Amino acid sequence: MNGLSGTGESAERILFEDVGNLIGQHHQLWGQFDSSRVLLTGVTGFVGSFLVRFFSGLRQQGVADVALVLCGRNEEKARNRLGAFIDPERDSFLIGDVRDSLTEAAISGIDFCVHAASNANPVAYSRDPVGTLMTNVCGTYHVIDALRGQASTLRRMVYLSSVEAYGRHDNQLPLTEGSDGSMDPSNVRDCYPVGKIAAENLCAGAVAQYGLPVSVARLSYLYGPGDSIDDPKVTTAFLADLKAGRDIMMLSSGRQRRTYCYIEDAVFAILLLLLRGDNRTYNVSSMADIVTVADIARTAVDLFGNGVQKVRFEQPSERVGSRFSPIQDNILDNTRIRRLGFKASMDFRTGFERTGLYFGLARGYGGKETGGRTRGQ
């Protein structure tokens, strides 16, 4: 299996349904993108690729004529993954690493920008901490620097940050955008949250110094079709275990609580920020989807287990444990973005089932055909 794709026509159908639902449920909003030019970085990633599909869908359905500038490191990979959604007459590629300067001429006339380029693989944080940090900091600087001359015409840039920007905190929950925590600059694993919070500060500086309209989206834990089953985060790792015929191996008690957000809902939030956001930070989460890591493991076995597979617990080695984010509750308050009209469309169990089906898992003894969506907060 290709790590960033599901298996065959059924996987494509699931993604097609999600994109179509996002367009159809909020059809009245999307005309505001008509005749616009949109810069997207990180286009082969989980969020970036969904955005490409979304804007392509707007064109195909005659909702909005959008031109895309697609920034990525590997044009061949982008074309293989997204070729069916790229219009050679409207869209252009800007191939390169965001850690290097972007060509201003190539991104002139930009109306909207979503800066999604980032190393988001926890294993890679330990293997390439310098690259992880520099992609967030230097990458964000170069995007801002290339757009600074368009401050009067750019309608909005959205930078994708992370729940990890809250660092280690005292569990005063839920976490609002004004909550803060601590980070350890001597801890290599902290390259990711340190990079995210530094990039957020660059965005604030761009607003103050250059007058750029920038919103920051602090994404909670995302999951859904289009993700990579090779990603070591729990939602994909548990499904990978079951698909390989293994038991799920828990390397902690799994009691920590988290707010999750389905990819379709997360992209809806990002699009709302492009159209309605202010120059501030917004948590992106579903308050209806507060689950523990152990809950996710049990749900995975219930939906896709073969009746023999189970959840097992094991103490991780020091090397493996060093890859983990702090074991704590991370519940993001989404009041601010709900004021812009955000409401989640997917409950966790249904969304997780769709994710497993996307990756080609068969429904197990506890799985059953879902009858629709349960709207959340």
What was the pLDDT predicted at 205?
99
Cβ 263 vs Cβ 354: under 8 Å = no
Cβ 46 vs Cβ 228: under 8 Å = yes
To the nearest whole number, what is the mean pLDDT of the chain?
Answer: 90
**What's the distance, Cα to Cα, between the start and end of the chain in Å?**
34
Whole-angstrom CA distances from 41 to 34, 94, 99, 264 are 20, 9, 12, 18
What was the pLDDT predicted at 4?
46
Parallel/antiparallel/unpaired status of strands 290-292 and 257-262: antiparallel
Confidence of residue 362 (pLDDT cuts 50, 70, 90): very high
Query: What residue has token string 């890859």?
Result: 323
Please name each of the domains of the chain with its CATH number: 8-225+261-288+332-347 (3.40.50.720)
pLDDT in tens, 214-243: 999 999 999 999 999 999 999 999 999 999
Q: Which residues contact 121 (CB under 8 A, 6 or more apart)?
A: 231, 232
Confidence of residue 43 (pLDDT cuts 50, 70, 90): very high
- In 3-state terms, what secondary structure has residue 80? helix
What was the pLDDT predicted at 94?
87
Give the helix/strand (H/E) hosting 184: none
Judged against a pLDDT cut of 60, whether residue 368 lies above it is answered with no
Cβ 75 vs Cβ 1: under 8 Å = no
Pure H helices in the chain: 8-25, 46-60, 75-82, 122-127, 129-147, 191-210, 234-243, 263-276, 293-304, 318-321, 335-338, 348-358
What was the pLDDT predicted at 101?
72
**What's the CA dihedral at 134, 140, 146, 152 to 10 degrees?**
-160
Distance CA 229, CA 124 (A): 15
Judged against a pLDDT cut of 50, whether residue 321 lies above it is answered with no
What was the pLDDT predicted at 147?
95
Tokens of 188: 């290599």
Cβ 68 vs Cβ 55: under 8 Å = yes
Cis peptide bond upstream of 185, omega within 30: no
- Any idea what DSSP says for residue 38? E
Cβ 155 vs Cβ 213: under 8 Å = yes
Among positive and negative, which fits the CA dihedral 128, 130, 136, 142? negative
What was the pLDDT predicted at 366?
53
Confidence of residue 369 (pLDDT cuts 50, 70, 90): low
Tokens of 79: 């074309």
pLDDT in tens, 301-317: 999 999 999 999 886 54
Tell whether pTM > 0.75. Answer: yes
- What b-and-e string marks burial along 173-211, b requiring 16 or more CB atoms within 10 Å of the CB? bbbebebebebeeeebbbbbbbbbbebbebbeebbeebe
Confidence of residue 319 (pLDDT cuts 50, 70, 90): low
